[in-house]
Amino acid sequence: MSTTDPTPDSHLLGASDIRELAAALGVKPTKQRGQNFVIDGNTVRRIVRAAGVTAEDSVVEVGPGLGSLTLALLEVAAHVTAVEIDPLLARHLPTTIGARMPERAEHFDLVLSDAMDVTELPGPPPTALVANLPYNVAVPVLLHMLAAFPSIERTLVMVQSEVADRLAAKPGNKVYGVPSVKANWYAEVKRSGAIGRNVFWPAPNVDSGLVSLIRREPPKTTATRREVFTVVDAAFAQRRKTLRAALAGWAGSPAAAEEALAAAGIDHKLRGEMLTVEQFAAIAEHKPKASEL
């Protein structure tokens, strides 16, 4: 099948299309950028369904690559904006859209940028984030996009299975940590399925998972997000230590940490892995003032 002359029954990219397109562009997927292209139309449509994308949505996609998921999103969404860091891939993606879905081309925008640098997007404000995120930057990119674009109501990301477990973990789980707490600041988080290795080219050495995030109001607190996240980082920097010890640097001393924890109604002998984001917010509210140290 030609990449510029799709058959009438499908405009999505299959395995042969992806390989042909990559060869024509001289694209060699790199581990550095976590490039593993989805080669299965059923998978990208499954992702779009799992994301709950409708004809009312303006979707932002991070890391569109050769356009597999982008095309599936354009089948449904009112508008799609793709953020791509690779100049070669970014340059050719509009051509692929125009060739395979010309009737939807005007509903597509492209931003050539590192997603971590993006603070505004063309087109209508995004209501959904759907992406196959590179494993090495998945968490920081996800958290940045949620912070930068409060209009995003729903998110579905495909990430390394281990990362998916961490994002969706609840307090008391052995993999509950910084990503879990920070993601919960923004949204209700849950696993939304698994993805096999054989739907990628090249096939990764790890399994993938889908994570769903539904935006909710952050915890009610007088502390700022930055202040709360500082406590979270401190609590998990030495996760096997009790909160009294782990937060000593943040509070000024172990005794000061114990006092702050007591004021927040939290047992100083607990570890960070046992606390909810609301409890971390309560701790942040009771940081000792400099004059008290």
**Which parts are annotated binding residues for S-adenosyl-L-methionine?**
36, 38, 63, 84, 114, 132
Beta-carbon count within 10 A of 240 CB: 9
Element of type H or E holding 43: helix 41-50
Within its chain, how far is the Cα of 199 from the centroid?
Answer: 20
Quick check: 212 and 128 in contact, CB under 8 A?
no
The binding site comprises: 36, 38, 63, 84, 114, 132
Q: CB within 8 A of 216, min separation 6: which ones?
A: 186, 187, 188
- The maximal CA–CA distance of the chain, rounded, in angstroms, is 73
Alpha carbon separation from 200 to 17, 134, 221, 281 (Å, rounded):
13, 13, 43, 40
Q: Positive or negative CA dihedral for 55, 58, 61, 66? A: positive
Closest CA to 62 of 186, 157, 154: 157
